[in-house]
Amino acid sequence: MILPFTHDGETGRLSVEIEQVDDPSTIGKHPATQGFPCCTATVDHPGKGYRAMFGWVQFVRSTDNESGGADFDMDPFVLFEDAPSPYAFFGLAPTLFDAPSRAMRQPMAWLAHSFLAHTPLDGAQRCVLPLAGFSWGFDVDGTGGIAVRPAAALTAADWDGHVPYLSTRHPAWTFDKWQPTAGR
């Protein structure tokens, strides 16, 4: 899936690939995770240097989380889960990579909302400005079979629905509404 976005008056694009993992060793996972999905989302934008600095904010709603799948939770990169930042990944045209799995193949539903965002470096306050987003995930049935949910574009309403949670989890940050046509 290709998603266009605009930043600093220039058009960029996200390339999103969701695939079922046949050989987990190729992505650094245990053989028992065969069949689970992985997501790779790459950023292509003509900006250079600081103009190409973006971040990924990811939420997951899973029937095995604390809410039993009723609510989305932050999904930070495991090495930085205690960091006081809403970003799972941040850098120059950063790639989002995620390969969720479970040791036990019990019935469950897992859905991610992944958003590319920008934080201006000229402000006194840390602010997250969303640029584009997509959903993806998987389901495990009663026999342990895994069905991958393909990527689908998200809307401004999807982002806006996460803002109250983000504001509570990260009070030192502000979170703008998503304005896809604003061309920030």
Query: Distance between terminal CA atoms of the chain?
Result: 23
- Percent above pLDDT 90 for the chain: 83
Q: Which two tokens stand for residue 168?
A: 């509570």
Cα torsion through 60, 62, 66, 67, rounded to 10 = 100
State how far the Cα of 157 lies from the Cα of 28, in Å rounded to an integer: 35
Give the pLDDT score at 149. 97
Give the pLDDT score at 183. 46
Beta strand ranges found along the chain (DSSP E): 2-7, 10-20, 37-44, 53-62, 73-74, 89-92, 96-98, 108-118, 126-140, 146-153, 173-175
State how far the Cα of 32 lies from the Cα of 18, in Å rounded to an integer: 19
- Residue 48 identity: K
**Using one digit for the tens of pLDDT, what is the confidence trace for 50-105?**
999 999 999 999 999 888 899 999 887 788 888 889 999 999 999 999 999 998 89
**Using one digit for the tens of pLDDT, what is the confidence trace for 23-40?**
999 999 999 999 999 999
